[in-house]
Structure 1
Amino acid sequence: MTPEAVTPAPEATGTTEATGETGAPPASPVRRDRKVVLWRHGQTAWNLERRFQGSTDIELTEEGRRQARRAARLLAGLRPDAILASDLKRTAATAAELSAVTGLEVTHDEALRETYAGAWQGLTHEEIIKRFADEYTAWKRGEPVRRGGGELETEVAERAAPVVERTVEKLPPGGILVVVSHGGTIRTTIGRLLGLVPGTWEALGGLSNCCWSVLGESVRGWRLLEHNAGTLPAPVLGDDD
């Protein structure tokens, strides 16, 4: 009697039939350790008068230029790899000071402009509260409001944040991007990059003229490392590093 043929067992391939998954351990997340410095422009006359600037193209004051020169010398110490800026005069002049001390060319993008706020633009804080009390109050409550008939904060984030993300992707590991923009645009961009709910973005306090915030890349996304800073960030030495 001839013995039945025995089919040899298949060689182990590291793949389970039930799941199709490989037996190899999962790859570790890639950590590129890139940073984004979001830098607000220097002082303008409308800042001093507490007028809502929005997308109105206002020049820096002489003090604003001094602020930009001082901050540029500090930020140059970070050895940034690229400078990205709004094309409005106040941000372009601020970015130019960093370009002068680093030799980096500035890339301007209108998507980084401040929020367009329609009828609010050019009005003082007190005038806005007087003429648009309900609109102002709703905005401060975190409701989606087209201030003065202009843009929603989420629309600002949707135009600004992708520009930052695309530029960061071009950086080498450990690279640093400086984004020169406006207070409102920076806040909404940070909120979008951190994945915060839009109604909570107001919890991010405003930036002083020529101060900045720093986002750091981690394996789980972006983290806020510094906010409204006017000095170079110190290393985090502790358990949360």
Structure 2
Amino acid sequence: MPPTRIILIRHGETAWNAERRLQGHIDIALNTEGERQADALAGALASERFDAVVSSDLQRALQTALAVAGIHGIAVQTDPALRERCYGAFEGLLYADIEQRYPAEFAAWQARDVDSMVPDGERRAETFRQFYQRSIAGILAWAHRHPGGTVAVVAHGGVLECAYRAALGLSLETPRTFKVMNASINRFTVAQGKLVLDSWGEVAHLRQGALDELP
């Protein structure tokens, strides 16, 4: 099967990114800055040729994907496999509040215990390992559908982190030492069922800073 190019994009900024409130599966829209970033991103990718534009079904990713696809006159396909990690009871809370309310679980999360369970909330939480397996399988499935093509995948900071780790063979337990920026362009090739990193963190199209949501 010929290699597939994946252009992996993190959604534009939301108000909750700006105030360090954990989103997970809560469906938050882009803020004004995020909309500006999405438009700038679309302009930066205007000369690319895409066989498909695929997005998480959460609106912050979908809004970003619609800006990209609109320039190319193609429809956006959505896939819940590309959603951010589900954080259960942590969702909707400021990081400082999570630490105060759930000190043991917060400590395990920050220590990168990839099999630690977050308390369930309105939705059932995922471990990091479960999330990693789900998101990588989602990306590879779209590559498999478009052999030899180019697919824009618009997702979330956690999904981008998983792709970076998969491509470089990084242990899931190691600290995240790389930035995952809003509306960044990150280029991969999928060859023989494996992700290969070609470039990371392109943000020259964003004149203002893009926020990195720390894990």
Give the shorter-chain TM-score range. 0.7 to 0.9
Cα distance between partner residues in 1 of 2:134 and 2:192:
25
3-state SS in 2 of match to 1:147: coil
- Other structure's SS at 2:24 match: coil
Q: What amino acid sits opposite 1:135 in the alignment?
A: E
The structure number with the bigger radius of gyration is 1
1:223 to 176, 186, 196: 196
Larger relative contact order (CA 8 Å, sep ≥ 6)? 2
Is 1:38 aligned to residue 8 of structure 2?
A: yes
Alpha-carbon distance between aligned partners in 2 of 1:196 and 1:146, rounded to the nearest angstrom: 21
- Does the 8 Å CA contact 1:86/1:109 hold for their aligned counterparts? yes
Q: What RMSD over aligned residues (CA atoms) do the two structures have, in Å?
A: 2.2
Secondary structure of 1:93's match?
A: helix
Contact preservation (8 Å) 2:12, 2:60: yes
Matched, 1:208 2:181: yes
Instruction: Give yes or no for the alignment of 1:180 onto 2:154.
Output: yes
Query: Aligned AA for 2:128?
Result: E
TM-score by length of 2: 0.83
Query: In the alignment, what sits opposite 1:84?
Result: 54
2:213 — aligned with what?
none
Cα drift, residue 115 of structure 1 = 1.0
Checking the alignment, whether the CA contact within 8 Å between 1:68 and 1:210 is kept in structure 2 is yes
Where in structure 2 are the equivalents of 1:20-99 lying within 5 Å?
A: 32-99=2-69
Q: Contact 2:7–2:150 at 8 Å: present in 1 too? A: yes
Q: Find the aligned partners of 2:34 and 2:44 in 1 and give their Cα distance.
A: 16
1:116 aligns with 2:86: yes
Listed one character per residue, the Cα deviations across residues 52-111 of structure 1 (whole Å, up to 9, x for unaligned) are 001000011121111001011112322222111001111111100011101122110111
CA deviation profile, 1:126-181 (whole Å, cap 9, x unmatched): 112222233223222221222344111121122222222122123242x2211111
Distance 1:104 1:72 in 2: 13
Task: State the Cα distance separating 1:228 from its structure 2 match.
Answer: 2.1
Identity of aligned residues (%): 32
Report what 1:25 is aligned to: none
Q: Is the 8 A contact 1:95 1:180 kept in 2?
A: yes
1:220 to 1:163, Cα distance in 2 relative to 1, 3 A: closer
Residues 119, 100 of structure 1: alpha-carbon distance in 2 compared, 3 angstrom cutoff:
same
Whether the 8 Å CA contact 1:153–1:188 is kept in 2: the answer is no
How far did 1:207 drift?
A: 1.4
CA distance in 1, matches of 2:137, 2:83: 13
Taking structure 1 as reference, are residues 204 and 187 closer, same or farther at Cα in structure 2, changes over 3 Å only? Answer: farther
Please state how far the C-alpha of 1:113 moved relative to its aligned partner. Answer: 1.1
| AA at the equivalent of 1:205 | F
1:160 aligns with 2:135: yes
Instruction: In structure 2, list runs of 5 or more residues that go unmatched.
Output: 206-215
Which residues of 2 match residues 137-156 of structure 1 at below 5 A?
137-144=107-114, 145-149=116-120, 150-156=125-131
Unaligned runs of 5+ in 1: 1-29, 233-241
* SS of alignment partner, residue 160 of structure 1: helix
Would you say how many aligned residue pairs link Structure 1 and Structure 2? 200
